Amino acid sequence: MRITVNSGGPQALEEWRGHFRACDPAIEVVGWDEAQGDPAGIVYALVWAPEAGRLAALPDLKLVISAGAGVDNILADPLLPPGLPIARMITDSTAGVMSEYVLTATLMLIRQARRMALNQADRRWQTLDAPPRIAEVRVGVMGLGQLGAPTAQRLAGIGFQVAGWSRGRAALPGVQAYAGPDELAAFLARTDVLVCLLPSTDATRGILNAGTFAGLPRGACVINAGRGDHLLVPDLLAALDNGQLNGAVLDVFDVEPLPAESPLWQHPGITVTPHYGSTPDRRERARKAADMMRRWEHGLPLPQLYDRQRGY
């Protein structure tokens, strides 16, 4: 079985080979650049942001495996063969890692960590108001899928007042459920910290906008760990500047790496993290990819196969 890997750069290739070899000695890992000169027999590709046309140049390719939970960077290829199966990378630890990220971000926001970091940089001692207790904070999670549901339950288990909003009504212990466009306003009105873990679809792109922010209580905070295209950046900046929002933690962006000239870097109300909210290590991703390859070879279903019609 031949797989080409485009994740972590050439310096990570030998590590990938070692991890795949430990999973199955029959798996041959071909470097991304090597694949251009020797594409025959490459049936699988583990990629994150492939250059346009590179996947189409692999004549025997049968399955693309995303190196992360999202597939947007793969779908952005205008030459991507239509109907080529794409599998999302969600490992056993992905949801746990994401829930820890969201918990950390939530605590940073309610504890004003960004403000304290700026004060430290300025060598300024400023006494801040006492933070709210966890039991007083109402967290709202948008998207209750493979990442959102465990995250909502993790936060509820710690003691936050948690609600979830999704396309269809979810039944999660300890999580108040809202569903569909008709219940979005009520969901927002009870939310102090809004967490976006939605997939990128026609219905969700741009959902973090001025209208959504206006529906939150004044002084609310936002965490976007879903997709970069959920957020309208000018609307976020305006809401922060006029006091409607008190802070934001952003892990995903329309353009990655985030350009140095982006106003998000310097805004005093924003914490930027480099898209690492739910990234598992290479060993775990190799195990997952090897399992997907075995399933594909034996005609077994892939539960994390991307559905183009649903958008996730």
Known catalytic residues?
227, 275
- 202/137 Cα distance (integer angstroms): 31
Amino acid at 142: M
Please name the residues in contact with 122: beta carbons below 8 A apart, sequence gap of 6 or more.
none
Residues 6+ apart with CB under 8 A from 251: 101, 105, 223, 224, 225, 273, 274, 275, 276, 277
Region of residue 275 (phi > 0: left; psi between -120 and 50: alpha; otherwise: beta): left
Residue that is written with structure tokens 């991304």 in the block: 32
Residue 116 carries which side chain, given as an amino acid letter?
A: M
CA dist 126 to 121, 122, 181, 266, Å? 12, 11, 42, 20
